[in-house]
Amino acid sequence: MRTDDVNFWNLLFDQQVYAFGETPNRYMANKLEEVPPAKVLLPGEGEGRNAVYLAEKGWKVSAFDLSEKGKEKADRLAQKKNVEIDFRVGDVKKMTYPENYFDALVLIFAHFMPDQRRAYHQKLLSYLKSGGKLVLEGHARLDEEPVDIRFNLNELKADFKGVDFIEAKTTWEELNEGRIITGRTQVVQIFAIK
């Protein structure tokens, strides 16, 4: 699967039902629960469930995704919940934000192609200010498995060199991320401070 296939994401999100649901990712919600709301960036935000949730909690939300259909649904969800989010359409390569600007960077199942991953992660990390929080959860790949879009914990630690890892683990979780990701799934979870 190519995670940068705009047509794939537009087809997936061009339905009435929210593919990944309307409720936020549990790991992200738990990690940011005690963090005072400030400025947050959510790349690869899909249909906006996490962005809208954080806006409801008082965060000033910036988000983007490849899919125009995803943005439409994110805007609809924000309107339904009566919150504002700055949601743009584009990929990491073309998106720009001020360096050292955001107080939190949230990557939830935001997988990039292996040849782009490290450069994209470093670019996104440059937008996070010193003391800012990094929250990441995604599908896991073990050291002995072939390289694909899933996350390998050791590779992620190298991608985000320079942060203090409060938590960095590969674990099994019972997930309910809409109709797309359900059941017992092996994931990488990272909570770190720049």
Cβ–Cβ < 8 Å for 185, 173:
yes
Positions of the chain with pLDDT under 70: 1
User: What total of structural domains would you count in the chain?
Assistant: 1
CB atoms within 10 A of CB 179: 12
pLDDT tens digits for 23-46? Answer: 999 999 999 999 999 999 999 999
Average pLDDT of the residues of the chain: 95
Nearest residue to 20 via CA among 110, 124, 114 = 110
Q: Please indicate, yes or no, if residue 149 is contained in any of the structural domains.
A: yes
Q: Please indicate, yes or no, if residue 1 is contained in any of the structural domains.
A: no
What lies within 8 Å, CB to CB, of 76 at 6+ separation is none
pLDDT confidence of residue 27: 98
Domain of residue 122 covers 6-193
Question: What's the CATH code of the domain at 77?
Answer: 3.40.50.150
pLDDT confidence of residue 1: 60
Q: Please indicate, yes or no, if residue 96 is contained in any of the structural domains.
A: yes
Q: Please indicate, yes or no, if residue 36 is contained in any of the structural domains.
A: yes
pTM: 0.95
Q: Which helix (H) or strand (E) holds 6?
A: helix 6-13
pLDDT confidence of residue 22: 95
